Structure 1
Amino acid sequence: MKKFCILALAGLAALSSCKKEPASFKVTTQAINEAVYASGEIMPAEYEVIKAVTSEHILKILVAQGNQVQKGQVLAVLGQPSQNTQLDILDKQLRLARQNASDSSARARELRQKAVLARKQYEQDSAEAQNYRELAAEKAVPAQEARHRAIKAQASLTEYNNLQYQYRALRDDQRGNVLSVSKQLAQLRELRETNVLTSSIDGKVFSIYHTEGSTAAAGDPILLTGSAGRFKLELLVDERDIAQVKLGQKVFFETDAFAGKQFTATVSKIVPVIQKENRSFKVEAGVAGTAAFFPQSSVEANILIRQANALAIPSTFLLPGDSIWTAGAGGKVVKQKLNTGARSGPWIEIKSGLKAGDLVYEKAP
């Protein structure tokens, strides 16, 4: 239809040039397509950008660009070679700490045995002190000797209590050491697991951003994987146009990777949160067909928001201020004010001011 309209205008121009008259056009009904412009990029329908959680050295990359991958497959390993050695050391430290924290440890046995002896000594000294108190009360032994036996019994009790305290402190310290080493080991294992990068989808490796031996900063992308053969558009729509965009609307788009070709998609998702940095809304559209697109390629798109048959004239005929030269009463050419609508290719919609069959002119005769 677009080519037909352009050829028709060319024919009118040629005819009028022969008669040396302004080009004219008879108002008719045309197919009007109204669209909202959007820009963005094309991505796999399902994808993930795998990133480094912390700044890490890249030990191994186990896939190549273009490889097919499965969910759960290990793609790369980050970290330091010394981490394996650190894990071994912490494992040994934890075993030793647990042995020391058990009741069978040498230090624990020693303190328990000393406490048993100290208790026996205290019981013996306490009995003697009681005996001497009774004898002193009967004047059988000097009072000073009774006091000496009481002091000795108190010292035995203090020794027994001190050994009990040492035993409890040892147990608390050993248990705390077990917890500390266990925490260090868990953190290192978690870090190691975090640094083993796996795929969460079945698909294809589209891009590898780093090489083995390089260092990735925290948040740096390492790999891009995604579904093979299925793509979507991630578009930005201006906040002034978003109210006109609906699910299921058709999208026509072009990408520089396929210059001169037009593709279609369908609006599948509208994210209802404005992006403050550009005052736009994110819109996704599923791409029709299985063309081998290149992820992250930029696209320019038109989201079709209305299709209608309406009165239209070539946009080149419209004068500033939305008016037109047209044949008035008696055939006299006059300037007529119009109420215009959407532009569609070379056409502009006429909402009021003209009717079908009216003759309009590109300029005054």
Structure 2
Amino acid sequence: MNKKTIYLVSGAVIGVLLLYFAFRPSGSSDGRDILAEAKRGNFKVEITTSGELQALNSIQVMGPSEARRFRLGNFTIEEMVDEGTVVKKGEFIAALDKTELFGRLEDKRLDLEQALALFEQTQLDTSLVLRQERDNIINLEYEVEERKLILEQSQFEPPAIIRQNENNVEKAKRDLQQALDRYKIKSMQERARMVEVSAKLRDVQSEVQQMEEILEKFTVTAPQNGMVIYVWGRGGKVKEGSQISSWNPVVASLPDLTIMQSITYINEVDIRKVKVGQRVDLGLDAFPEKKLTGEVTKVANVGQQRPNSDAKVFEVTVVINESDPLLRPAMTTSNTIIADELSDVVFVPIEALNSEADSINYVYLKSGKKQEVKVGLANSNDVVIELGLKEGDMVYLSTPDWSANTAINLLEELNGKRNPDFEDISANTQTFNIGAVSEEDL
């Protein structure tokens, strides 16, 4: 190799070394610094969670609750349409076992025949008794007339005979009056008997009629248009073969699919951010392209513990603004609750924020400063900077090498009142670990 070639290679190596030392990155221990730009724009505090669709309004499809009047305790569902079947008003939903009620109806029909026979017999007896009494009265009236005639014919007879005939007339009149009084009493007695047997007959007729009407209700039909949703009973979902109680004969529910709601659960850390009236953006796992909007209408006051979880959560109801035939109960939704929204603010990634003594928040600027900042709202990714930064400032997301011996450039506006909202900001950003973030974490 000649000297010219050696000089060229040596010059190239020296040039590469000079370029490396001139442009090598400064900062972190492995030679790489991560920077981000302070941006200005709209800032949202969002809470994202999953939910389940339910109908806002629904009607319970009931079996015959009147059956308990006839001491029917439980019904067995012999036949039932599949869950999710869309039905119209009056269409078939389920058929209940009629065997027990059929048996009692047949017994009651026998009672009705007996009551009807008793009614007819009593009616005949009453007619016969009263007719006899009326015939007796007519005969006694003739008797009175006959006695009066004998008395008139005995005017020229001895006084004793006349007196005897007068007594016979009085006796005949008394017998007639007694017969009239007896007829009144017999009429009242027979009328009471007829009222009694008539009432018994009407009762039995009414029970038979009610049983026949209830029997028709053992075929359960839809009270309105909707989709059949099974309900939960003691032994699981009520379906074909299940038993329902006459005290709570709910066969199924029929939700109104025109107005839907999403039931979701928010953890106890975030629940204080959720308020009634907040806007919600929703998506459907089954139809990712479908986008919906809604509004928070109810926030539970008492928390609960969900199965297989130690965290406490609060139920939140979101009513969906749109009506769509694709929406079905039990579909999974992704809910993004807009807890707060600011316009025209400066914000940086949460990883850029550092803290000293839990009282001073600061960032590392590309210019080599440790700049104190006043922070505002925060979400899961960014934090609002109210003071200390301007749009376009470059901040470190990692701890630069020069940080150890650099003093914090404090804000005069915060003298005597260092970040009074610091604790609130920390609570708002639950996953937010204030302090340096190493490049390995990123």
Range of TM-score over shorter length: 0.5 to 0.7
Larger radius of gyration: 2
Return the alpha-carbon distance in structure 1 between the equivalents of residues 151 and 275 of structure 2: 101
- What's the secondary structure of 1:33's corresponding residue? strand
Return the alpha-carbon distance in structure 2 between the equivalents of residues 119 and 322 of structure 1: 119
Alignment of 1:20-31 (within 5 A): 23-31=34-42
Alignment of 1:310-349 (within 5 A): 310-319=345-354, 323-326=360-363, 332-336=369-373, 338-343=374-379, 345-349=380-384
Range 311-320 or range 128-137, more displaced: 128-137
Return the alpha-carbon distance in structure 2 between the equivalents of residues 322 and 126 of structure 1: 128
Q: Deviations over 1:333-353 (max 9, x none)?
A: 2433x241241x411233455
1:138–1:78 distance in 2 versus 1, CA, 3 Å:
same
Return the alpha-carbon distance in structure 1 between the equivalents of residues 333 and 110 of structure 2: 57
Alignment of 1:110-259 (within 5 A): 110-120=128-138, 123=141, 140-141=163-164, 149=172, 152-205=175-228, 207=230, 209-217=237-245, 218-219=247-248, 221-223=250-252, 232-235=260-263, 243-245=275-277, 249-253=279-283
Return the alpha-carbon distance in structure 2 between the equivalents of residues 322 and 137 of structure 1: 143
Which of residues 293, 302, 316 is equivalent to 1:266?
293
Cα deviation, residue 251, structure 1 = 2.5
Cα deviation, residue 332, structure 1 = 4.0
1:284–1:51 distance in 2 versus 1, CA, 3 Å:
farther
Q: Deviations over 1:10-39 (max 9, x none)?
A: xxxx98547758755432125433345676
> 1:325·1:361 contact (CA, 8 Å) conserved in 2?
no
Return the alpha-carbon distance in structure 1 between the equivalents of residues 354 and 319 of structure 2: 38
- Highest relative contact order (Cα 8 Å, sep 6+), 1 or 2? 1
Structure 2 partner of 1:301: 335
Taking structure 2 as the reference length, what is the TM-score of the superposition? 0.57
Which of residues 89, 95, 99 is equivalent to 1:77?
95
1:339–1:117 distance in 2 versus 1, CA, 3 Å:
farther
Range 353-362 or range 153-162, more displaced: 353-362
> 2:354·2:363 contact (CA, 8 Å) conserved in 1?
no
Return the alpha-carbon distance in structure 2 between the equivalents of residues 269 and 130 of structure 1: 104
One-letter amino acid of the structure 2 residue matched with residue 172 of structure 1: V
Return the alpha-carbon distance in structure 2 between the equivalents of residues 276 and 157 of structure 1: 82
Which of residues 343, 352, 355 is equivalent to 2:390?
355
Cα deviation, residue 170, structure 1 = 2.4
Cα deviation, residue 72, structure 1 = 0.9
- What's the secondary structure of 2:164's corresponding residue? coil
1:142–1:130 distance in 2 versus 1, CA, 3 Å:
closer
Structure 2 partner of 1:3: none
Return the alpha-carbon distance in structure 1 between the equivalents of residues 215 and 301 of structure 2: 35
Return the alpha-carbon distance in structure 2 between the equivalents of residues 88 and 115 of structure 1: 41
Structure 1 partner of 2:19: none
1:40–1:225 distance in 2 versus 1, CA, 3 Å:
same
Range 207-216 or range 129-138, more displaced: 129-138
> 1:326·1:358 contact (CA, 8 Å) conserved in 2?
no
1:354–1:287 distance in 2 versus 1, CA, 3 Å:
same
Return the alpha-carbon distance in structure 2 between the equivalents of residues 241 and 108 of structure 1: 85
Range 143-152 or range 194-203, more displaced: 143-152
> 2:93·2:220 contact (CA, 8 Å) conserved in 1?
yes
- What's the secondary structure of 1:141's corresponding residue? helix
Q: Paired residues, what number?
A: 341
Q: Deviations over 1:159-208 (max 9, x none)?
A: 21221012211231133123312432343244334432112344554558
1:101–1:342 distance in 2 versus 1, CA, 3 Å:
farther
Q: Deviations over 1:35-69 (max 9, x none)?
A: 45676522368765535465532253153345553
One-letter amino acid of the structure 2 residue matched with residue 28 of structure 1: K
Return the alpha-carbon distance in structure 2 between the equivalents of residues 181 and 137 of structure 1: 66
Cα deviation, residue 312, structure 1 = 1.5
1:306–1:169 distance in 2 versus 1, CA, 3 Å:
same
Cα deviation, residue 76, structure 1 = 1.0
- What's the secondary structure of 1:312's corresponding residue? strand
Taking structure 1 as the reference length, what is the TM-score of the superposition? 0.67
Return the alpha-carbon distance in structure 2 between the equivalents of residues 75 and 225 of structure 1: 10
Question: CA RMSD, aligned part only?
Answer: 5.0
Unpaired runs of 5+ in structure 1? Answer: 1-13
1:127–1:204 distance in 2 versus 1, CA, 3 Å:
same
Return the alpha-carbon distance in structure 2 between the equivalents of residues 111 and 281 of structure 1: 79
> 2:92·2:221 contact (CA, 8 Å) conserved in 1?
yes
- What's the secondary structure of 1:219's corresponding residue? coil
Return the alpha-carbon distance in structure 1 between the equivalents of residues 129 and 387 of structure 2: 105
